[in-house]
Amino acid sequence: MSSPKILLSEWAATNYNPAPSMWTLRQWVRDGQIYPPPEKVGRAYYVAKDARRTVNDGPRLSLVQRLELESRRA
């Protein structure tokens, strides 16, 4: 059974002081920086209580580069 999920804003409030803005949190979700990935239900994101932010320190790839990389993997 997976761990219970809480609202993304609640998770941020327990892990950061002050908590990042919702815009920043949604950006982290889109960039895949939260593991395990949050689940979107309606307009809200739910995340595992024990989720962690993972940061890739390497250069950020453009959309074209990510698509090329993905096509090579397939």
For the segment 17-50, what is each residue's pLDDT rounded down to a tens digit? 999 999 999 999 998 899 999 999 999 999 999 9
Q: What is the DSSP letter of 5?
A: E
What is the pLDDT at residue 34?
A: 92
What pLDDT was estimated at residue 37? 92
The answer to whether domain 5-73 has CATH 1.10.1660.20 is yes
The CA distances from residue 72 to 54, 58, 59, in Å, are 24, 20, 19
The verdict on pTM exceeding 0.85 is no
DSSP, collapsed to helix, strand or coil, labels residue 48 as strand
